């Protein structure tokens, strides 16, 4: 007779699957609704959406200007919007200024273009530290911002959410928008990383 593994020794994936099965069996959730949510977060919401916005801005000067002037409309034009993305402001990185986003009160985050917020974004240490000592927190996260560059911290809220437009890395002039989008990370669009050259 084999013994079942204790729940605390099961992988998170197995625990999630078991919980889903239990909820379906008890008719507390509709499998079709769950499949729709999963599909939404796998295909329609996530950092790849934001990466496509960034790549288009890097390759289309007119779109870049529109994105910086009216982020909400320009992002919606690419098909990304809705809850958590109604009021978007885009911040452009430059040689003089480094932008970084935080939500000091909770974890307001632009889900349509960045997907689910990472755990560190919701962590009180990140939220407080980024406001008080942003250069130190960025260094701890692996990004060294030169002393001569000003750091601007933007506090996301229920009224406005921010997307950082990273600087285009060197040696990418021959890349098309799809190849450029593959270089862009969620962390670069929050401002805690830079886009690395290929």
Per the annotation, the verdict on 157 as an active-site residue is no
107 assigned to a ligand binding site: yes
Is 94 annotated as ligand-binding?
no
What single-letter DSSP state applies at residue 120? H
Residues 6+ apart with CB under 8 A from 110: 50, 84, 85, 88, 156, 161, 162, 163
Out of 2, 11, 94, 108, pick the active-site residue: 108
Distance CA 21, CA 75 (A): 37
Catalytic residue, chosen from 103, 119, 156, 157, is 103
Q: What's the Cα-to-Cα distance from 52 to each of 73, 91, 147, 157, rounded to whole Å?
A: 15, 16, 31, 24
Whether 107 sits among the annotated catalytic residues: the reply is: yes
Instruction: Specify whether 2 is catalytic.
Output: no
Residue 103 known to bind ligand? yes
- Write down the catalytic residue from 2, 107, 119, 157: 107
Any binding-site annotation on 119? no
Catalytic residue status for 94: no
Please report, in range form, the residues annotated as the binding site for Fe(3+): 103, 106-108
Residues identified as active-site = 103, 106-108
> Which residue numbers belong to the known binding site?
103, 106-108
């Amino acid at each position: 007779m084999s013994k079942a593994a204790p729940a605390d020794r099961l992988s998170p994936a197995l625990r999630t699957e078991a919980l889903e099965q239990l909820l379906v069996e008890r008719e507390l959730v509709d499998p079709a609704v769950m499949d729709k949510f999963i599909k939404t977060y796998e295909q329609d919401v996530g950092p790849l959406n934001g990466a496509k916005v960034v790549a288009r801005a890097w390759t289309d000067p007119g779109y870049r200007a529109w994105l910086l002037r009216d982020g909400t409309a320009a992002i919606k034009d690419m098909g990304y919007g809705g809850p958590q993305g109604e009021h978007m402001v885009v911040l452009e990185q430059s040689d003089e200024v480094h932008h970084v986003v935080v939500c000091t009160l909770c974890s307001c985050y632009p889900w349509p273009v960045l997907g689910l917020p990472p755990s560190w974004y919701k962590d009180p240490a990140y939220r407080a530290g980024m406001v008080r000592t942003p250069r130190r927190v960025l260094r701890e996260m692996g990004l060294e911002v030169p002393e001569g560059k000003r750091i601007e911290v933007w506090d996301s809220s229920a009224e406005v959410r921010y997307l950082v437009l990273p600087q285009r890395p060197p040696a990418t002039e021959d890349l098309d928008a799809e190849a450029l989008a593959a270089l862009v990370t969620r962390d670069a669009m929050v401002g805690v990383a830079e886009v690395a050259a290929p």
